[in-house]
Amino acid sequence: MADFEIAVIGAGVVGLAIAARLSEKHKNLVILEKNEKYGMETSSRNSEVIHAGIYYKPGSLKATLCVEGREELYRICRKHNVGHKQITKIVTATNESELMVLEATYANGRENGVPLEILTKQQTLALEPHINTVGSIFSPTTGIVSAHELMDCYYHLAVSNGVTVQHHCEVVGIERRGGEYAITVDEGGQRSVVTSEKIINSAGLYSDKVAQMAGIDIDKAGYRMVFAKGSYFSVASTKAKLVSRLVYPVPHKETLGVHVVLDLGGRLRMGPDTEYMDELNCDYSVAESKRNVFAESVRRILPAIADEDLAPDMSGIRPKLQRRGEDEKDWIIVHEAQRGLEGFYNLIGMESPALTASAAIAKHVEGIL
């Protein structure tokens, strides 16, 4: 008999949400996490926005699970006192030529079932007098959340349901043995094997590598990811009251654009930009040299920001299936039975809006389990 019924690899917001949900019915779960604590990678390096679901391709997993997950997330936050605020958002067109993109974005959002309103220049300025606009979309269901508190919540729900969480425990090998999986783990240089009937690969930036460990040819399968760093600059506190909600430019092909992010403490940040990386490295430093370029793109939406108002802040790395110049790619959430890996579930390319959608992703995984 295997040590565990289900092993979840990775304790980011997605793995934790899955463990919290599955542990309501399955009693023998383990989470294997390589870092000393849960949530130390992408899940704690993002905009903490509860996305409404405006941008994603209708019918995609991103669209459906974002819309469903957003409402579920608000319910979880209210029930478990997770810090959040339905702060709302404006997507602003800054010149006439962007109005067409704005309309297409509105139509896409409506097709996804997102409540949205088109505002004129005057209506927009009545809400946000300091932004540059010729018209906008108002999104009443967009919000912000404390990603740390959300992960604490999922973690405690999982642990109180009896889930074992093994930190400092890196998965380095996976082998199918009879009806179970032998998982080789490295704990500070010490290697051992744990066995599990099922595996859920929720390893974020390393999920393609984990799939490879199980014997999947990730190039043939289309699982090999690319990585895009997103940096943020913080704005001087004297300028923090220039906006009272999230303000985004119209979206571009690979990014939502450098936007104005407010956190629950009222701190204003700008970001993230999109910098494709040649290879994955965990250099999260933010280059001071980006300040000018950053300030210029920020001034397109908030003209009162001067270069010296910005200071390098934090960054995160997006695990993407979409290569530079390609159209958006959907998340991969699959049971790999057809590859001879019965009971092996892959979650790959879990970029934004997976924080928003975490609870709905967990429900979806339960559905295919």
Ligand X SMILES: Cc1cc2nc3c(=O)[nH]c(=O)nc-3n(C[C@H](O)[C@H](O)[C@H](O)COP(=O)(O)OP(=O)(O)OC[C@H]3O[C@@H](n4cnc5c(N)ncnc54)[C@H](O)[C@@H]3O)c2cc1C
Q: Point out which residues bind ligand X (CB under 6 A).
A: 9-15, 32-35, 40-43, 45-49, 51, 170-171, 202-206, 210, 230, 272, 316-318, 350-356
Query: Cα separation of 369 and 365, whole Å?
Result: 6
Judged by beta carbon, residue 93 or residue 205, the one nearer ligand X is 205
Closest contact distance (angstroms) between CB of 179 and ligand X is 23
Query: Cα separation of 56 and 53, whole Å?
Result: 6
Closest contact distance (angstroms) between CB of 183 and ligand X is 9
Judged by beta carbon, residue 316 or residue 343, the one nearer ligand X is 316
Judged by beta carbon, residue 26 or residue 51, the one nearer ligand X is 51
Judged by beta carbon, residue 103 or residue 313, the one nearer ligand X is 313
* Contacts for 366 with CB less than 8 Å, ≥ 6 apart: 18, 21, 22, 25
Closest contact distance (angstroms) between CB of 278 and ligand X is 17
Closest contact distance (angstroms) between CB of 110 and ligand X is 20
Judged by beta carbon, residue 124 or residue 207, the one nearer ligand X is 207
Query: Which tokens is 171 given?
Result: 């998965």
Closest contact distance (angstroms) between CB of 37 and ligand X is 9
Closest contact distance (angstroms) between CB of 351 and ligand X is 5
Judged by beta carbon, residue 133 or residue 346, the one nearer ligand X is 346
Judged by beta carbon, residue 28 or residue 212, the one nearer ligand X is 212
Closest contact distance (angstroms) between CB of 117 and ligand X is 21
